[in-house]
């Protein structure tokens, strides 16, 4: 009873005195910081500062493992050996691969020439995948790239260009690349897509493979399950049991001018088209179709959850549409329903939950995955909105469909929760990409956003949106971080790995436990990787003033140890 009365007093005082702008980062751990001795290399070789870009942000799984690519400096370090991959198991850092080193599983003399950003991935079991250019030994222009996998300190070759692969119904083919769609299923099996040639080199198509014990098995693309030649496999999203949804483009007979693209559902050893380019979208008038003859592929993004539900973005075409006859839309596919395909939203539609706003465009990009679906069926994406009440007023918003209701998490111009009155979200693409969004399986969303302070200055950070609707700041520009006792540094910028659909086979920087792995740059140009608890503790001066009266913990900064 006394405790309840104390809390009542605290809440009353908090209501009377607005919280000042916070200054300390919440509960966190410093995993790595520039200037630190790098493990597995010569004494004096240290981690070097890197730019706070998403391609360099650490990957995180539900066990708390991290995987990241970083820069080295110090004695003996030059442009041939200054990049390295590191793995963190929750206790210590381990070197996985370094440029200039002997390439694992390759003939004598073959070395890693350069490590790639885009082929990194991390499984739930702690396996990591990475791509590398090769040099030396038997390397030629047709065999100078390989995909590697490492677990428990052992690294093997998963696939190398120029290697033969046997297809069940067409015989031996040669892996020609480029390798893409590097994904893991929940059982820890690695997958990738690549172009292949026949033995004579006269034909080139794409396929999607699963790696087991170092061997690549084709799942679709000139297999008995999917015999049609594929020109492109643009995106693949995996579900728990290894089933997948993919956007593919098929080769058509010579003389057919139309490119035939489709979304396929692969499960149980067979592939079924979800939708084809040229199909009539459900609910639209005659002569409306998915795609347009002038667009290479109408399908930009594909995401899938553990139940096999799939979402994707697509262009629609009909000459009656305003402008050039094109309209962008988001679609959901649920194989358990009698009518499995439904439209989530399309450009020019009014939001049912916000009747004063109309969607003017949907943000999508083939190079990122700003469209996501989790196991609860929540769908998240970015959209541009126009105000019906105030023509000419436009906004960018993070949209989420939950339990059939589509609404925004935030839009530019709104008050930023947890910051002083008058601090509003601001659309500033120079700070972070609009696609900085990561949803987890329990419905939490971490997103990056910029904001304008009441004095006109700008800030930015990473925020957490709870499924129940609350939004709180996680990491902000200007946060103070005690990296070791009596060494406090101020955050200038940050990035976290995002845009991976939960359960879709791609690792991100935000896990199902609400932990965030973020790369930060401090105002002194040093950088660090932080593991942040997404459940912040209160930090306001009002709470601190009542520290002796109520059991309210102050948000403590982590201490840097290595």
Residue 135 pLDDT greater than 50, yes or no: yes
pTM: 0.88
Q: Are strands 405-411 and 394-402 parallel, antiparallel or unpaired?
A: antiparallel
Residues 454-471 have a mean pLDDT of 92
SS3 content of the chain, % helix, strand, coil (to 5): 5, 45, 50
Cα torsion 466, 472, 477, 482 to 10°: value is -100
**What is the predicted pLDDT for the residue at 52?**
79
Cβ burial of 324 (10 Å; 0-12, 13-18, 19+) is exposed
**What is the predicted pLDDT for the residue at 139?**
97
Say how many CA atoms lie within 13 Å of 253 toward its Cβ.
0
In which band, very low, low, confident or very high, does the pLDDT at 209 lie, cut at 50, 70 and 90?
A: very high
Cα torsion 102, 108, 109, 113 to 10°: value is -40
In which band, very low, low, confident or very high, does the pLDDT at 160 lie, cut at 50, 70 and 90?
A: very high
Which pLDDT tens digit goes with each residue over 55-103? 899 999 999 999 999 999 999 999 999 999 999 999 999 999 999 999 9
Integer CA distances (angstroms), 31 to 68, 86, 519, in order: 11, 11, 10
Which pLDDT tens digit goes with each residue over 174-207? 999 999 999 999 999 999 999 998 766 666 788 9
Q: Does an H or E element contain 8, and which?
A: helix 2-16
Structure tokens at 3: 């405790």
Percentage, residues of the chain above pLDDT 70: 85
C-alpha to C-alpha distance for 560 and 562, rounded to whole angstroms: 7
Q: For the beta carbon of residue 204, count every other beta carbon within 10 angstroms.
A: 15
**What is the predicted pLDDT for the residue at 231?**
82
Is residue 481 within 8 Å of 500, Cβ to Cβ? no
Q: Does an H or E element contain 131, and which?
A: strand 128-135
Structure tokens at 558: 């982590």
C-alpha to C-alpha distance for 310 and 333, rounded to whole angstroms: 5
Q: Which of 369, 393, 329, 347 is nearest to 498 (CA)?
A: 369
Main-chain phi, psi angles of 11, to 5 degrees? -65, -35
In which band, very low, low, confident or very high, does the pLDDT at 249 lie, cut at 50, 70 and 90?
A: confident
Residues 207-220 have a mean pLDDT of 90
Is residue 451 within 8 Å of 460, Cβ to Cβ? yes
In which band, very low, low, confident or very high, does the pLDDT at 255 lie, cut at 50, 70 and 90?
A: low
C-alpha to C-alpha distance for 271 and 446, rounded to whole angstroms: 33
Q: Which of 40, 33, 82, 77 is nearest to 58 (CA)?
A: 33
In which band, very low, low, confident or very high, does the pLDDT at 230 lie, cut at 50, 70 and 90?
A: confident
**What is the predicted pLDDT for the residue at 55?**
83
Which pLDDT tens digit goes with each residue over 340-375? 999 999 999 999 999 999 999 887 654 455 799 999
Q: Compare 54 and 243 and report the one with higher pLDDT.
A: 243
Contacts of 74-82 with C-beta under 8 Å, sequence gap 24+, read 74/42, 74/44, 74/45, 74/46, 75/42, 75/44, 75/45, 76/42, 76/45, 77/45, 82/48
In which band, very low, low, confident or very high, does the pLDDT at 538 lie, cut at 50, 70 and 90?
A: very low
Main-chain phi, psi angles of 200, to 5 degrees? -80, -10
């Amino acid at each position: 009873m006394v405790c309840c009365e104390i809390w009542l007093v605290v809440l009353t005082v908090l209501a009377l005195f607005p919280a000042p702008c916070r200054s300390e980062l919440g509960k966190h751990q410093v995993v790595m910081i520039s200037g630190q001795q790098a493990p597995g290399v010569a004494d004096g070789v240290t981690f070097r500062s890197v730019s706070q870009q998403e391609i360099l942000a650490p990957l995180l799984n539900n066990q708390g493992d991290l995987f990241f690519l970083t820069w080295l400096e110090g004695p003996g370090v030059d442009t041939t050996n200054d990049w390295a991959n590191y793995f963190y198991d929750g206790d210590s850092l381990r070197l996985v691969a370094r440029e200039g080193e002997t390439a694992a599983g390759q003939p004598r003399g073959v070395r890693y020439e350069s490590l790639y950003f885009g082929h990194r991935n991390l499984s739930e079991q702690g396996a990591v995948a990475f791509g590398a250019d090769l040099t030396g030994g038997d390397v030629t222009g047709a065999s100078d790239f390989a995909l590697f996998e490492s677990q428990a300190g052992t690294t093997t070759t998963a696939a190398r260009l120029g290697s033969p692969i046997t297809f069940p119904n067409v015989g031996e083919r040669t892996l020609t690349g480029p390798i893409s769609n590097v994904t893991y299923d929940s059982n820890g099996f690695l997958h990738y897509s690549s172009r292949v040639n026949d033995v004579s080199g006269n034909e080139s198509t794409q396929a999607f493979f699963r790696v087991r014990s170092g061997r690549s098995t084709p799942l679709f693309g000139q297999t008995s399950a999917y015999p049609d030649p594929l020109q492109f496999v643009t995106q693949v999203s995996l579900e728990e049991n290894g089933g997948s949804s993919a956007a593919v483009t098929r080769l058509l007979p010579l003389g057919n001018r139309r490119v035939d693209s489709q979304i396929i559902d692969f499960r149980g050893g067979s592939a079924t088209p979800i939708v084809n380019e040229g199909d009539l979208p459900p609910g639209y008038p005659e002569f409306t179709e998915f795609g347009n003859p002038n667009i290479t592929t109408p399908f930009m993004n594909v995401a899938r959850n553990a139940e096999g539900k799939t979402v994707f973005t697509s262009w629609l075409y009909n000459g009656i549409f305003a402008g050039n006859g094109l309209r962008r839309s988001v679609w959901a596919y649920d194989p358990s329903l009698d009518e499995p395909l439904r439209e989530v939203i399309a450009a020019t539609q009014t939001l049912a939950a916000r009747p004063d706003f109309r969607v003017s465009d949907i943000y999508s990009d083939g190079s990122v995955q700003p469209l996501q679906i989790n196991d609860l069926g929540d769908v998240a994406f970015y959209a541009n909105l126009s105000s019906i009440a105030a023509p000419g007023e436009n906004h960018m918003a993070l949209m989420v469909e939950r339990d059939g209701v589509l609404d925004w998490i935030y839009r530019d111009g709104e008050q930023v929760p947890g910051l002083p009155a008058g601090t509003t979200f601001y659309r500033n693409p120079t700070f972070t990409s609009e696609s900085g969004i990561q949803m987890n399986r329990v419905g939490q969303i971490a997103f990056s956003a910029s904001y304008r302070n009441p004095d006109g200055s700008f800030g930015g950070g990473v925020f957490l949106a709870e499924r129940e609707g609350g939004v709180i700041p996680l990491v902000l520009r200007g946060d103070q971080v005690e990296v070791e006792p009596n060494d406090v540094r101020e955050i200038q910028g940050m990035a976290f790995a995002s845009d991976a659909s939960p359960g879709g086979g791609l690792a991100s920087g935000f896990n199902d436990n609400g932990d965030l792995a973020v790369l930060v740059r401090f105002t002194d140009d040093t950088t660090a990787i932080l593991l942040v608890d997404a459940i912040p503790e209160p930090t306001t001066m009002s709470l601190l003033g009542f520290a002796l009266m109520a059991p309210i913990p102050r948000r403590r900064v982590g201490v840097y140890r290595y």
